[in-house]
């Protein structure tokens, strides 16, 4: 061995050790950057903060003339309104099993309470500071005014109607045993804005925030031509006394039916089913078209929670129920959540828009007993997500999470016309509206 060999070997070992240390350094730097990204840059919630909901509504004192802020005490005089409120998801905003499971999934982060229990009276802690708008770094203090029973009421009467010892409402001539004041917000959509529009935050590339019903609202037709606001559908008008013994007024029902109510979903859509050719014969290729129309909602369908979606399903079955051919299409919103939030695809229906779903099938030579099943289903979340809420996040009991909002079983061994024009209980497109086809 030459005298240069040990020297070369030594240099090789030095280079190898230097390479190993540089690799370790790179890995340590990468780990630190990942830590910095997830703990200092990326928000810990899926939306940004806005001043009007970054803090709970300040602690409210009981107005003179009523015993407490509890809804039941309001119901002593406002009985019908109270009974309606009890059936609503506003009343269940804190106790709803879906919310509780999702909230647990999000480590019960305090910011969710500012909409689900909006009064500071309903929250066990007060948020005194939010450094750099980092939710996880919020400075908290015990709340001496916390009312656990009031917390269970979710979005209770006082959350909208009590401010500074006064009962606010939509009338300027109220006579009541407590202080009252007219507030014009109750006659506009502004009363809904605080919680039904959350903005995107840093590194969140939404087209619209995750629960963005408010900015989706279509103003040209529903607002300008029909003078409709959110309350027009979600708080239907009713003539009755607002309180026992009071004058009959044009008021609104306190129901707020929405994305968990099948009838509310049905009232927003129209469905049409057609065949081409309209009278197919055995052995003939046929295309069935289901047209889904957002005929009654002033916002996109579906709206709200981005987990919600529709499916349009076709299925041909024989007389024994055996499936000969089937097809399913989805309509919703697809979002990438990691490492940053990006709206990938959104094929929801805007207001007054329609979409055709086509299903092609060559009828066999014998069509006796053959039927086409067409179905539209609305899903609050996927089967997989529902199972995870139960198995991982402690949701107990069985809860409806998808609904069939349209279904037709069409015999293919007879005339189709009567079946094709039957729209069931679905509402047709608004009079005068032009339905714009979307894809």
Task: Give percent above pLDDT 90 in the chain.
Answer: 75
In terms of Cα–Cα distance, which of 376, 379, 403 is closest to 312? 376
pTM, whole model, 2 decimals?
A: 0.87
Q: What are 77-114's pLDDT values in tens digits?
A: 999 999 999 999 999 999 999 999 999 999 999 999 99
Given the DSSP bridges, would you call strands 166-169 and 180-182 parallel, antiparallel or unpaired?
parallel
Give pLDDT, residue 14: 67
User: How does DSSP assign 333-347, residue by residue?
Assistant: EEEE-SSSEEEEEE-
Q: Taking residues 351-357, report their average pLDDT.
A: 95
Give pLDDT, residue 17: 67
Give pLDDT, residue 415: 79
pLDDT value at 177 more than 90: yes
Give pLDDT, residue 242: 94
Give pLDDT, residue 143: 97
Question: Using 50, 70 and 90 to split pLDDT, how confident is the model at 16?
Answer: low
Question: Which range among 22-36, 264-278, 289-303, 425-439 shows the weakest confidence by mean pLDDT?
Answer: 425-439
Question: Which range among 4-13, 84-93, 321-330, 372-381 shows the weakest confidence by mean pLDDT?
Answer: 4-13
Question: Using 50, 70 and 90 to split pLDDT, how confident is the model at 429?
Answer: very low
Task: Give percent above pLDDT 70 in the chain.
Answer: 90
Residue scoring higher pLDDT (206 or 39):
206
User: Encoding tokens for residue 153?
Assistant: 């009421």
Question: Using 50, 70 and 90 to split pLDDT, how confident is the model at 7?
Answer: low
C-alpha 371/C-alpha 320 separation (Å) is 11
Cα–Cα separations (whole angstroms), residue 346 to 59, 214, 215, 300, 392: 40, 17, 15, 10, 28
pLDDT value at 176 more than 70: yes
C-alpha 351/C-alpha 19 separation (Å) is 61
Give pLDDT, residue 33: 84
Question: Using 50, 70 and 90 to split pLDDT, how confident is the model at 3?
Answer: low
Question: Using 50, 70 and 90 to split pLDDT, how confident is the model at 439?
Answer: very low
Q: Taking residues 384-388, report their average pLDDT.
A: 97
Q: Which domains does the chain have, with CATH numbers?
A: 71-188+229-252 (no CATH), 262-437 (2.60.40)
pLDDT mean across residues, the chain: 89
Q: Taking residues 199-225, report their average pLDDT.
A: 87
pLDDT value at 154 more than 70: yes
pLDDT value at 426 more than 50: no
Angle between helix axes 97-105 and 383-391 (nearest 10 degrees) is: 80
Q: What are 262-299's pLDDT values in tens digits?
A: 999 999 999 999 999 988 889 999 999 999 999 999 99
Cα–Cα–Cα angle for 236, 53, 61, nearest 5°?
80
Question: Is residue 53 a contact partner of residue 194, using CB atoms and an 8 Å limit?
Answer: yes
C-alpha 32/C-alpha 390 separation (Å) is 35
Question: Using 50, 70 and 90 to split pLDDT, how confident is the model at 430?
Answer: very low
In terms of Cα–Cα distance, which of 167, 75, 151 is closest to 116? 151
Question: Which range among 147-151, 223-227, 343-347 shows the weakest confidence by mean pLDDT?
Answer: 223-227
Question: Is residue 275 a contact partner of residue 287, using CB atoms and an 8 Å limit?
Answer: yes
Give pLDDT, residue 5: 56
Question: Which range among 115-119, 183-187, 226-230, 375-379 shows the weakest confidence by mean pLDDT?
Answer: 226-230
Give pLDDT, residue 18: 64
C-alpha 193/C-alpha 212 separation (Å) is 10
């Amino acid at each position: 061995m030459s005298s240069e060999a040990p020297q070369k070997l030594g240099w090789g070992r030095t280079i190898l050790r230097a390479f190993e240390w540089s690799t370790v350094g790179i890995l340590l730097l990468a780990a630190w950057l990942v830590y910095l990204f997830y703990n200092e840059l990326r928000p810990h919630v899926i939306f940004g903060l806005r001043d009007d909901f970054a803090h709970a509504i300040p602690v409210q004192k009981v107005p003179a003339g009523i015993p407490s802020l509890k809804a039941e005490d309001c119901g002593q005089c406002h009985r019908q309104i109270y009974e309606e409120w009890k059936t609503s998801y506003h009343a269940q905003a804190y106790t709803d099993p879906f919310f509780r499971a999702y909230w647990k999934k999000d480590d019960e982060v305090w910011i969710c309470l500012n909409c689900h229990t909006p009064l500071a009276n309903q929250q066990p802690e007060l948020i005194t500071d939010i450094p750099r708008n980092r939710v996880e770094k919020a400075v908290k203090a015990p709340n001496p005014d916390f009312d656990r029973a009031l917390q269970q009421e979710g979005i209770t009467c006082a959350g909208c109607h009590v401010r500074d010892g006064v009962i606010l409402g939509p009338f300027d001539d109220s006579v009541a045993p407590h202080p009252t004041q007219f507030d014009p917000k109750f006659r506009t959509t502004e009363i809904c804005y605080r919680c039904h529009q959350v903005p995107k935050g840093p590194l969140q590339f939404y087209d619209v925030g995750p629960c963005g019903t408010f900015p989706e609202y279509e103003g040209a037709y529903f607002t300008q031509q029909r003078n409709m606001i959110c309350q027009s559908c979600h708080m239907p008008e009713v003539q009755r006394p607002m309180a026992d013994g009071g004058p009959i007024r044009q008021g609104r029902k306190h129901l707020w039916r929405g994305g968990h109510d099948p009838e509310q979903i049905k009232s927003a859509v129209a469905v049409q089913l057609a065949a081409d050719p309209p009278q197919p014969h055995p052995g003939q290729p046929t295309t069935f078209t289901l047209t889904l129309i957002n005929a009654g909602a002033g916002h996109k369908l579906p709206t709200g929670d981005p987990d919600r979606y529709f499916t349009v399903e076709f299925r041909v079955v024989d007389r024994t129920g055996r499936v000969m051919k089937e097809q399913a299409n989805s309509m919703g919103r697809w979002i990438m959540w990691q490492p940053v939030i990006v709206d990938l695809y959104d094929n929801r229906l805007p207001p007054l828009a329609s979409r055709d779903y086509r299903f092609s099938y060559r009828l066999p030579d014998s069509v006796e007993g053959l039927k086409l099943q067409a179905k539209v289903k609305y899903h609050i979340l996927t089967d997989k997500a529902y199972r995870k809420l139960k198995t991982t996040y402690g949701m107990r009991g069985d809860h409806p999470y998808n609904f069939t909002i349209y279904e037709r079983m069409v015999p293919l061994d007879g005339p189709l016309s009567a079946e094709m024009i039957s729209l069931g209980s679905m509402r047709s497109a608004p009079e005068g509206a032009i339905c714009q086809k979307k894809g």
